[in-house]
Chain A
Amino acid sequence: MGESSYVQSGAKNSKIYERLAAIVGSRYVSDSEAVLYTYSEDFITFERSGKADFVVMPKTTEEVQDIVRLANREHIPVVPWVANLSVGALATPREGGIVLDMRRMNKVLEVNEEDQYILVEAGITYADVVGYVNRHYPHLRVPVTYAPPATGYVASSLMYGMTDLSMAYGDASYFVNAFEAVLPTGEIIRTGSAMSSPHWNHHAALPDFGLIGLFIGWAGTTGIVTKASIKLYPKRPYRLDYFMDADTVERGFKIQRELARTGIIDDIASNNWAWGRVEAGEKLPFSEGRRPGEPELSSWVSFTANTEKELEAKDEIVKSITEKGGGKLTLFEEGIKSFSKGDQIRYFKYLPVQLSNDISGARGGRAQWVGGYAPPSKNAEIYRAVEKVYDKYGYTQAGHPIQAYNRLMDHGHEGIIRYNIFGSKDDSPEIVEKHRKCLREIGEVMRAHGTILYKAPPYFARLNWLGTDPAAMNIIRTIKKILDPNRIMNPGQLDF
């Protein structure tokens, strides 16, 4: 290992800059203050900002390899970045280094209609991919999340995203067939079927799950995915969307689970009453608590069909289960009439969408949520426990009551639930600290109820590790050490 010429902060490091420029061309490397500043924070959460030393935009896998080799030699952190919109600041460069903005790697390399997958470069955004498929393959459907259009399509799969087809097929990691990735030492690896076949059609290969798990959920700490094959689905011509309201979360979650088991639903997501109000356009703090008749949980239920008859049959099942469970269905088009004039909610059916009010309920443009994969049967219990945390910190009393969102997936086998706190970019350090404390306590309560926290910034990642089986932890640490011996990949995240 040669002596490191890397200077982390302050003076610009022209030697490294020049070497990066030699790899990607000077146009695509920057150490300008303006560029470094915007990549230093996510501009959303209460997470602390980091500091980028260089931002580099590679175009090819070979360029990524060269950058990583340089970084590995010089022990410079490398942080893969697409939009840093995980609401956990997972692409904030916490220990400085090179931010690898992946967005020039945004090509669609193949659409295989027969085997139903799309092979893309890893910097492609939802806007890119949905636009491309709509233009060239309008009969195909890309699973999409509620994240904004500028977010990473592959990044979402790497982060266990929840999509509009996730009830039917599982979270976004289940849509991955195969990756090409550059390891922190510079070698290229192919996973899934692509590791031992020229085809990119399947996730399983020699060891089960074809090593795609080396990258999913690791928040860029094991290498840089450069290509991904992701499943596509036929766009069915008939679709129905309902709001399914329930007077209590207990009832609402139960109906969700029953609907899930029918195997006919594409997507179920829900907001509790308070987050629902925010999405419909109301501003925090609320002047009144839950109004008489206001459902405690409002779920979004979406299903599709190949024929009108099939849709009718599915509709009948959905209606019957909801009615028996004591819920109330309202057609999407009817439901949105009661929302305020803002049109974000109106596009709910037409993903990707801009849900900035999700973040900006108090109109301060700052929020953070803590969430994770909980046993679906525990959702209501967790909700009641978390509600008490909002009370304890005085949020409920101040008109910022519990904000909950859940997504049930894979026919009810898995699901996420998350809780949100809204703040403002003008919040004082004391207020920010209070938000952080409350979120941490929510995380602890969720962990105590068996939730595995997802998209977890360092504190929450540590909560996960604390309860992780030592043998499993040992393997995780060993894998990390083998893949990234110099700890250059996104250091400071996950905090093993």
Chain B
Amino acid sequence: MSYPKTFQHIESKLKASNVPQQCIHCGTCRTWYQSQFWNPVCPSGEWKKFDPYYLSGKMQLAMGLIQGRIKWSKDIVNPFFECTLCGNCAEQCHVFETNGTRPIYELAIPLLEAIRRDAICNGFGLEAHKRFAQAIANKHNPYDEKHEERTAWLKEAIGDTKLSKKPDFVYFVGCTASYRQKNIAIATARVFKELGLNFTVLDDEYCCGSPLLRTGHWDLVSDIAKHNISEIENTGAKTIVTSCAGCYKVWSYDLTNEKYGKVLGIEHNLKVLHSVQLLVDLLNKGKLNLNSKVDVKVTYHDPCHIGRNLGDKALYEEPRKLLKAIPGVELVEMERNRNVAWCCGAGGGVKSAFPDFALWTGEERIKEALETGAEMLVSTCPFCWRNLDDSAKAIGAKIQVADLLELIEKSL
């Protein structure tokens, strides 16, 4: 029995708490544990139905790989990749140690990511992921868009206003808001400007690395992270603010020593904020005055990357606090919210490699949102926005998808 090299950063933890051995394939990770209605939580399993698509089956396959009972093949790879890495499964698993810790809850997602890396190292990556990894290597974004057009949205956002030369923080925009959901970048920059915040945007921002980390293409992450860190440091700012849940998770969580920082040789001391944290802070200090009424009934979708993926650092209340502060907004919750929110369907490399799965997952979320009677589904992540909007359109749902910052902008 041997652990693949790609488990290096978690091997001692896996051994200490016997993961995946402790998994007994009980399937508790398929439904919202101890909830009244036992709602399904796993997009991968609910979509494919067969056992290996739930975490229970993935654990069994992982054990088979570690024990050498099975070897990588195209078949074995598939369940690991047709999964959004949303972590809702791990959230439900209450396997516990005597001291109350929950090893599978803590280790399932790092394990699934390390397994993907091992698949890649054994030559079993997915074409779609290879393509975007190549695009990131060449053009610093997964969409294969021109790097020089990365900040093209800025003019529409703030016109000729000059960005600060001595900024308090860098607005780290991310690829999706830069190229696809420019509406979010624009709204965010306008809100910052309107509030008189002293910020800048990098001239030469690269992808944060999230798509690479999630899909096992770790080899590129170090270089792009180092580039971004150096660019940020050059501005003199010690803080970055993101409007993307994926970027936030990379900067605040993945690039720390105890996660991937050490194994990838990346270190940074930047303070990382999601825009909702920054704005809640201003709200608390009385510096964010939301005066204009926005009459709308909304429901809020928690992105996995600023939700349960962050464990006890999840940002569940900040967006809700902001929504409630907007006059006229009525917030209604979906049944699965906060730590058990059903994934939007885009993450983990699914949107590019398994577009039907991504859409189906998003449609499930849209249907849940419609059940609340909300007219608007609000989130705080451009990638969630993209997939939820695609899904709403695919089923002709009468619900508007919006980013929280877009609502804030209207209310200022």
Interface, chain A (partner B; CB < 8 A): 28, 30, 32-35, 37-39, 41-44, 55, 57, 83-85, 101, 103-104, 125, 127-128, 130-131, 134-135, 148-151, 281-283, 340-344, 347, 350, 353-354, 356-357, 359-360, 363-366, 424-426
Asked if B98 is an interface residue, CB under 8 A from chain A, the answer is yes
A35-B50, A101-B50 known; A364-B28 Cβ under 8 A: no
Question: A150, B18: Cβ atoms under 8 Å?
Answer: no
Would you list the 4 A-B pairs with minimal beta carbon distance, nearest first?
A150-B27, A341-B100, A342-B96, A131-B38
Closest to A44 in B: B24
16 contacts between A and B (CB under 8 A): A34-B75, A34-B79, A35-B50, A38-B61, A43-B24, A57-B50, A128-B38, A131-B39, A148-B26, A149-B30, A342-B98, A343-B96, A344-B94, A356-B94, A360-B24, A365-B22
Closest to B1 in A: A426
Residues of chain A lying within 8 A (CB to CB) of residue B138: none
In the bound complex, residues from chain B placing their C-beta under 8 Å from that of A39 are: 51
Q: Roughly how many angstroms separate A34 CA and B82 CA in the complex, as a whole number?
A: 12
In the complex the two chains form, is B37's CB within 8 Å of A134's CB?
yes
Contact of A33 among B34, B49, B70 (CB under 8 A): B70
| Chain B residues whose C-beta falls within 8 Å of the C-beta of A366 in the assembled complex | 21, 24
Asked if B63 lies at the interface with its beta carbon under 8 angstroms from chain A, I say yes
Which residues from A are CB-within-8-Å of B60?
Answer: 37-38, 41, 43
Report whether A354 and B75 are in contact in the complex, using a CB–CB cutoff of 8 Å: no
Are B99 and A343 closer than 8 Å at their CB atoms? Answer: no
In whole angstroms, how far apart are the Cα atoms of A282 and B73 in the complex?
40
Complex: chain A residue closest to B335, CB-CB: A135
Q: Are B18 and A365 in contact (CB under 8 A)?
A: yes
Check if B36 sits within 8 Å of A134, measured CB to CB: yes
Contact A103 B49 (CB under 8 A): yes
The answer to whether A364 and B75 touch (CB under 8 A), given A34-B61, A37-B64, A347-B34, is no
Tell yes or no: B57 within 8 A of A by CB: yes
Interfacial residues, chain B to chain A (CB-CB below 8 A): 1, 17-18, 20-28, 30-31, 33-39, 49-52, 56-57, 59-61, 63-64, 67, 69-70, 73, 75-76, 78-79, 93-100
The residue in A44, A151, A354 that gathers the most chain B C-beta atoms within 10 A of its C-beta is A354
In the assembled complex, the CB of B102 is this many whole angstroms from the nearest CB of chain A, namely 8
Instruction: Let me know if B22 and A360 touch, CB within 8 A.
Output: yes
**Contacting pair B25 A364 (CB below 8 A):** no
Q: Let me know if A35 and B52 touch, CB within 8 A.
A: yes
The answer on a CB contact under 8 Å between A342 and B28 is no
Residue of B nearest to A104 (CB): B49
**Contact present for A363 and B22 (CB under 8 Å):** yes
Do B23 and A43 have beta carbons less than 8 Å apart?
Answer: yes
- Chain B CB within 10 Å — which of A44, A149, A344 has the most? A149
Q: Which residue of B lies closest to A129 (CB)?
A: B38
B37 pairs with A35, CB closer than 8 A: no
> Are B26 and A364 within 8 A (Cβ)?
no
Nearest CB in chain A to that of B27: its residue:
A150
Check if A363 sits within 8 Å of B17, measured CB to CB.
yes
- Residues of B contacting A30 with CB < 8 Å? 50
Closest partner residue, chain B, to A426 (CB atom)? B21
Known interface pairs A34-B57, A360-B24; 15 further A-B residue pairs with C-beta atoms within 8 A, sorted by A's residue number: A37-B60, A38-B60, A131-B35, A134-B36, A134-B38, A282-B98, A283-B98, A340-B100, A356-B24, A356-B95, A360-B95, A363-B18, A363-B22, A365-B21, A426-B18
Q: B78: which of A28, A32, A83, A128 is its contact (CB, 8 Å)?
A: A32
Docked complex Cα distance between A135 and B35 (Å): 11
The smallest C-beta distance from B17 to any residue of chain A, in angstroms, reads 7
Query: Closest CB-CB distance, A152 to chain B, in whole Å?
Result: 11
B115 to nearest A CB, angstroms?
Answer: 12
Q: Which one of B1, B18, B49, B98 contacts A364 once the chains associate, using CB atoms below 8 Å? A: B18
Chain A hits for B28, CB < 8 A: 148-150, 354, 356
Report Cα–Cα, A350/B52, bound state, in Å: 28
Expressed in whole angstroms, the Cα–Cα distance for A273 and B57 within the complex equals 33
B59 contacts which chain A residues (CB < 8 A)?
A: 43
* In the complex, chain B residues whose CB is within 8 Å of the CB of A34: 52, 57, 61, 75-76, 78-79
- In the bound complex, how far is the Cα of B69 from the Cα of A359, in angstroms? 22
- Closest Cβ of chain A: how far from B336's Cβ, in Å? 12
Contact between A363 and B24, CB atoms less than 8 A apart = no
Instruction: Among B25, B60, B78, find the residue whose CB has the most chain A CB atoms closer than 10 A.
Output: B25
Evaluate contact between A149 and B25: CB separation under 8 angstroms: no
> With A and B bound together, what is the CA distance between A164 and B66 in angstroms?
39
| Chain B residues closer than 8 Å to A357, beta-carbon distance | 95-96
CB contact under 8 A between A37 and B70, given known A57-B50, A131-B38, A282-B98? yes
Most interface-central of A28, A35, A38, A350 (chain B CB within 10 A): A38
Contacts of A343 in B (CB 8 A): 94, 96, 100
Give the residues in chain A near B73, CB-CB below 8 Å: 33
Residue from B27, B67, B69 having most chain A Cβ neighbours under 10 A:
B27
Cross-chain contact B31 with A424 (CB below 8 angstroms)? no
Residues of A within 8 A of B37 (CB): 131, 134-135
Complex alpha-carbon distance, A281 and B96, angstroms:
8
Instruction: Give B360 Cβ to nearest chain A Cβ, in Å.
Output: 12
| Docked-complex contact A150 and B26, CB < 8 angstroms | yes
The interface residues of chain A lying within 8 Å CB-to-CB of B75 are 32-35
CA distance A150 to B51 in the complex (A): 11
Give Cα A131–Cα B36 distance, bound, in whole angstroms. 6
Residues of chain A within 8 A of B93, CB atoms compared: 354
- Give the chain A neighbours of B79 by CB distance below 8 A: 34
With contacts A32-B75, A344-B96 taken as known, whether A424 is within 8 angstroms of B18 at the C-beta atoms is: yes
Q: How far is the CB of A122 from chain B (nearest CB, A)?
A: 16
> Closest CB of chain A to B133's CB: distance in Å?
24
- How far is the CB of B204 from the nearest CB of chain A, in Å? 42
Considering the complex, give the chain A residue whose CB is closest to the CB of B36: A134
| Chain B residue with the shortest CB-CB distance to A83 | B27
- Residues of A within 8 Å of B96, CB to CB, are 281, 340-344, 357
A422 to B51, CA, bound (A): 25
Q: Which chain B residues border A130 with CB–CB below 8 Å? A: 38
A33 partner residues in chain B, CB cutoff 8 A: 70, 73, 75-76
Complex CA–CA separation, A39 to B54 (angstroms): 13
Contacts of A57 in B (CB 8 A): 49-50
Given contacts A33-B73, A131-B31, contact A365 B24 (CB under 8 A): yes
A92 to chain B, nearest CB (A): 12
The reply to whether B78 and A356 contact each other, CB–CB distance below 8 Å, is no
Nearest Cβ distance between residue B343 and chain A, in whole angstroms? 19
A140 CB to closest chain B CB (Å) equals 14
Partner of A424, one of B21, B57, B76: B21
> Is A85 in contact with B25, judged by CB distance below 8 angstroms?
yes
What's the least CB distance linking B160 to chain A, in Å? Answer: 55
A343 to B20, CA, bound (A): 20
- B33 & A281 in contact (Cβ 8 Å cutoff): no
| Interchain CA distance A282-B99 in the complex, whole Å | 9
Residues of B within 8 A of A347 (CB): 34
CB-nearest residue of chain B to A283: B98
How far, in angstroms, from A103 to B48 measured CA to CA in the complex? 12
Smallest CB–CB gap between B44 and chain A, Å?
A: 12
Nearest-Cβ distance from residue A128 to partner chain B, whole angstroms? 7
Q: Which residue of B lies closest to A131 (CB)?
A: B38
Q: Smallest CB–CB gap between A155 and chain B, Å? A: 13
Contacts of A283 in B (CB 8 A): 97-98
**When the two chains form their complex, are residues B23 and A365 in contact, meaning their CB atoms are under 8 A apart?**
yes
Chain A residues within 8 Å of B64, by CB: 37
With A32-B75, A148-B26, A356-B24 as contacts: A38 and B51 at CB distance below 8 Å: yes
Which B residue sits closest to A126, measured CB to CB? B38
- Cα–Cα distance between A356 and B21 once the two chains are bound (Å): 12
Check B33–A149 contact: CB distance below 8 A: yes
In the bound complex, CA of A422 to CA of B220 (Å): 44
**B36 & A364 in contact (Cβ 8 Å cutoff):** no
Residues of B within 8 A of A38 (CB): 50-52, 57, 60-61
Q: A28-B49, A343-B96 are in contact. Are A149 and B18 (CB under 8 A)?
A: no
Are A44 and B94 in contact, with the CB atoms below 8 A? no
Which residue, of B39, B49, B69, B70, has the highest number of chain A Cβ atoms within 10 A?
Answer: B49
C-alpha gap A210/B370 in the complex (Å): 46
